[in-house]
């Protein structure tokens, strides 16, 4: 397993991340002492990280959402209270 010093890892971060994503793990060291091990995510971990759209069909937004409470807000702005 390849070891990179922090400075070298910062310089090569994009390439190292790509290599890790393809399955190549590596270690980042500070002053020659191993600090962290970078591993690729498993397929399950990759799928669970995809959050966009995770609640499709779980929440319904009413058609009048943009005008909800409009009359009450207008009354408050005009100084009227109900």
The string of pLDDT tens digits covering residues 36-76 is 999 998 877 777 666 667 777 888 888 888 988 898 989 89
CATH class of 2-77: alpha beta
CB 21 within 8 A of CB 27: no
Share of the chain above pLDDT 90, in %: 45
Rounded-to-integer distance, Cα 75 and Cα 3, Å: 67
In the chain, where are the structural domains located?
2-77
CA distances from 71 to 14, 48, 64, 66, 79 (A): 53, 42, 13, 12, 12
Q: What is the mean pLDDT of residues 8-21?
A: 94
Q: What is the pLDDT of residue 29?
A: 96
Chain-centre distance of CA 42, in angstroms? 17
Which residues, in sequence order, are CB contacts of 25 under 8 Å at separation 6+?
1, 37, 38, 39, 40
Q: What is the mean pLDDT of residues 9-14?
A: 95
Q: What is the pLDDT of residue 31?
A: 93
Q: Which pTM does this prediction carry? A: 0.54
Instruction: Share the mean pLDDT of the chain.
Output: 87
pLDDT band at 82; cut points 50, 70, 90:
low
């Amino acid at each position: 397993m390849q070891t990179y010093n922090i400075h070298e890892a910062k310089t090569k971060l994009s390439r190292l991340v790509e290599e890790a994503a393809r399955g190549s793990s590596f270690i980042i060291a500070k002053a020659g002492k191993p600090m962290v091990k970078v591993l690729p995510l498993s397929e399950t971990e990759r799928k669970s990280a995809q959050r966009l759209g995770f609640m499709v069909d779980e929440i319904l937004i009413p058609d009048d959402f943009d005008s909800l409470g409009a009359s009450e807000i207008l009354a408050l702005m005009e100084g009227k209270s109900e």
